[in-house]
Amino acid sequence: MNALHMAQAAYSAPNQISMRTPRATEYALFARVTARLKEAQSAGRQGFPALASALHDNRALWTTLAADVAEPGNALPDALRARLFYLAEFTTHHSRQVLAGRADPGPLIEINTAVMRGLEKAEPVA
């Protein structure tokens, strides 16, 4: 994640973020938004306002991630950067479909969960 996003996250939970690594911070952000997506999905039609809010935050997270991996100085391997950028594009498109009632948020939850698993394997979460 970029420095601005990490700073915003730090101000939202100062006691926890200050001791986390960047990967642990990314994991926590994905976990938070994914939990909100799951909760809104399970609420059905009545959960639509919460779903719309969670989708917005999920897209913001993925947009930030896409901007970060697009930076020339990003240290991730090129193939991984390309896959993450593609997933950000998919997330934006699929979120529009969910908001229009033409798709289910399940694939977004699955993608976030897979990213969280990858972050866990890469470095222990504090």
pLDDT in tens, 1-34: 555 555 555 555 555 445 779 899 999 999 999 9
pLDDT digits (tens, 9 = 90+) for 90-118: 999 999 999 999 999 999 999 999 999 99
pLDDT digits (tens, 9 = 90+) for 68-85: 999 999 999 999 999 999
- Is residue 31 within 8 A of residue 23, CB to CB? The reply is no
Give which of 28, 30, 12 is closest to 20, Cα–Cα: 28
Q: Which residue has the higher pLDDT, 124 or 70?
A: 70
* Structural domain for 118, as ranges: 3-122
Prediction pTM value: 0.81
| Per-residue b or e along 54-92, where b marks 16 or more CB atoms closer than 10 Å to that residue's CB | bbeebbebbebbbbbbeeeeeeeeeeebeebbebbeebe
Give which of 28, 24, 36 is closest to 12, Cα–Cα: 28
In total, how many domains does the chain have?
Answer: 1
